[in-house]
Chains A and B, each alone.
Chain A
C-alpha cells in the first residue's frame, strides 16, 4: 500500500490547511486542470468559460462533445488558448516550491511558538519587542497573540517579495503619456504587443499578423505581391512552411481510410508506419491531438516536432507495456491458476444448471433470445475488442418510472 503513496504527486494538500495558510490550497487547486489534476498545460477556455489542459479536454471531447464540467455542448473548434492563464501557471510553477518551503517553515515556527506559550508571558513579550522582526520565531509568536497584526505582516512580506518588480511597472505606467486625442492615420503609434512603432492606420493589421512582420507598406505594390505568390517557388515554400506550423491538423475519419492511406498520412508527419491498423489509428489520433494541443501553447513554450514525437513514442511504449502484462507464458499461467480456473468453471456450470429452468420460462414469456455470455469473455482482452452482441443487454424499466413518481 505504502509503495503507491510514496509516489510523488504534487497536490494542493501539500500546503497547510486554510487556517494556517489562507488561500494557498485553493490557489494551487484552482490552477490545476480538473481532468488530470496537474497544473494547467496549454490551458484552453471553452465558450462556457471553463478551463482545461488542451490535451485533456481534446481527449474528453473525443468521447463526448461537451464541457466536462457543465456539460454544455462544445466543439473542438470552440477551444481558445488562454495565454494569460498559461503565464500565471508558469509563474506559479516556478514559485510553488519556494512558497511551499516558506509555508512549511512558517507552520513549524508556529508550532514551536505554541510550545513557548507555556513559558512566562512577560518574558516573551520583552523578547518580541526587543528583537523585532529579525527573530522569526518570536515574531511568529507575537502574531499568534494579536491576530489583528497578521494581515499587516503578511502584506509586508509580500511587498518584500515583489520589491523589485512592482516599482518598475508603476514607473512604466507613469511614463506612458495619456493620449489626448486619436492619432492620425499616418502617425506612428506603439504596438501594445511588441512595442514597435507602427502607423496608426495599419496597427490592426499588424496585430492580426501577430506582430511577426512589418505591415505591407503602401509603397510595395500589390502587383509585386502577386508576382511573388504566383511565380517564385522559393518564396512560396518558405511562406507555407511558416503558416502550416500554425494551423491545427484536421481530424480524420479512420473508418473510411484504407491502410495504405493511413500509412501515408503517418509518413507525411514522419511517424512510424509499423503495427496493426488499430495501432496506426491510435498513433495518428494521438499525434493529431498532441500536435493541436501544442499549438495552444504560447509561441515560445511550444515543443518541437521532435519532442512531440518522443512523447508519442513514450505514450505508445507505456500502452504496450500495460498490454504485455496480460500476455505471459500461457502454460505457466495456466498451471499457476489451475485451481482458480477450475473453481470458475465449476461456478459457471453450477450457475447454468440451476438457471436453465428459469431461463426457459423467462425466454418463453419474454420472447427475448439472448445468447449466454460464455466464460471466455473474461479471457479476451477488454481493450480494442469489439463488444459482441451477447455482452450488451438492453434494459427497459418503464415500470420503474411509473413507480418512481
Chain B
C-alpha cells in the first residue's frame, strides 16, 4: 500500500495529464512526490503580461492534511514576480498556503489562486518589509508565520 499522500498526488497528476492544466499554467516537472514545478503566466490584461514565473511545490508525508510549501523559484535566471505579497526570495504571503489551507484544495487550485493573485495586482512593488524578511527567512516558507491582514490585493 502506498501512502495516502503519494496516492492523492498520483491522482492529481493523472488528472493533470488527462485534462491538462488551466490556461497559463504548465507542469514543468513532477519526477517524484516531493517536489513539483509549474510555470505560471497571467493571461489577459495585467501588470505581468508576457511574463512567466516558476512555482515550486514541496509536499510532506502529511499532504493533503498539511499544506504544501509553495514558493516561486528564484535563481538560474528565474525571478519572483514583483508583487506586494511576494518576497524577492520567492516566498508568498497567501492565507491559503498557511492557516486557511484546506485538504480539499489541490495543487491546481493553488496555482489558480496565485495566478489570480497576480492578475488582480494594481501596483508592482515588493512587500514593505521585504529586506528585513529575506535576510532571516527560513528555507521553508511554511515556517514563517505570516500576518494576513489584506484581502484586497
Question: Which A residues contact B (CB, under 8 angstroms)?
Answer: 1, 4-5, 7, 9, 11-13, 34-38, 56, 59-60, 62-64, 68-69, 71, 314, 318-319, 322, 351, 355, 358-359, 362, 366, 368, 370-373, 377-378, 382-383, 387, 390-401, 403-405
Contacts and interface: CB of A to CB of B under 8 A. Distances in A.
Interface in B92-150: 93, 99, 102-104, 122-123, 127-129, 131-133, 135-140, 143-147, 149-150
A4 B60 contact: no
B104 A11 contact: no
Contacts of A351: 135
Contacts of B137: 373, 393
Nearest to A7: B10
A164 B14 CA distance: 37
13 contacts: A11-B14, A35-B103, A359-B135, A362-B132, A378-B139, A383-B60, A391-B143, A393-B132, A393-B137, A397-B127, A397-B129, A400-B128, A404-B153
A13 B65 contact: no
B150 A404 contact: yes
A396 B128 CA distance: 9
Contacts of A56: 65, 103
A318 B8 contact: no
A372 B65 CA distance: 30
A394 B135 CA distance: 14
Interface residues on B, range: 35 or more
Contacts of B103: 34-35, 56, 59-60, 68
A382 B60 contact: yes
B136 A69 contact: no
Given A37-B8, A400-B127, 11 more contacts: A4-B32, A7-B6, A36-B8, A37-B11, A37-B12, A63-B65, A64-B99, A68-B104, A396-B147, A403-B123, A404-B122
A11 B139 contact: no
B104 A400 contact: no
Contact of B128 (A314, A394, A397): A397
B31 interface: yes
Contact of B133 (A35, A314, A383, A393): A393
Given A392-B143, A393-B137, A395-B93, A38 B7 contact: yes
Nearest to B144: A393
A391 B138 contact: yes
A401 B150 contact: yes
A60 B66 CA distance: 8
Contacts of B13: 4-5
